[in-house]
Amino acid sequence: MVVKMMIASAIAMASRTMPLMPISMGRRRTAPVISASSGHMEMKPAPINPEWIISGDPQARMADHSRSGDRAAYTALWDCTAGTFRWFFMWDETVHIIEGDVHVTAADGSVHHLHAGDVAYFKAGTWATWRVDTYVRKVAFLRRPFPMALALAYSVKNRVFPAKAPSL
């Protein structure tokens, strides 16, 4: 009975048509629009875990752009010099390459050569090998995955009530 109540509650939460608005609780409020020129964002060192480096001396930097009020989504600018390294994606990540290129080898062995203008998605919990020949710069859009029970409820809700594509 308790499990059924938990599932029913999760389905009810997932079926809302409007997302829940975060309560600030004294934290700084997220502005409704945040914009910045990628050329003027302050890039800070973001060292790659030395155990993940396969070859070369890749130097990575990152600039925070924005974070959602509920801390479940995050946007950053990231760049890296030449080198080959493994990368673990803790969150779902969509990247937009804005300069340079990178060869990405997924865990299944598939190779993706991403150039400026390309967009790619990396599922949370996966590894990929990145080979940067000279330089790459990307915008990264990260989203924290739902807890398993909520993800299951949301999946059921989507099968029962298919979502319409948003109007852009």
Question: Residues 108-134: pLDDT tens digits?
Answer: 999 999 999 999 999 999 999 999 999
Going from N- to C-terminal start, the domains of the chain cover 46-146
Q: What are the DSSP E strand ranges found in the chain?
A: 44-45, 53-56, 60-67, 73-89, 92-106, 111-115, 119-122, 126-143
pLDDT bin (cut points 50, 70, 90) of residue 34 is low
Please name the fold of domain 46-146: Jelly Rolls (2.60.120)
Answer for the pair 85, 130: CB distance below 8 angstroms, yes or no: yes
pTM above 0.85, yes or no: no
Q: Which two tokens stand for residue 163?
A: 């979502």
Q: Scanning the structure block, which residue is given the tokens 């050329």? A: 39
The pLDDT tens digits of the residues spanning 58-93 come to 999 999 988 877 778 889 999 999 999 999 999 999
pLDDT top residue among 55 and 11:
55
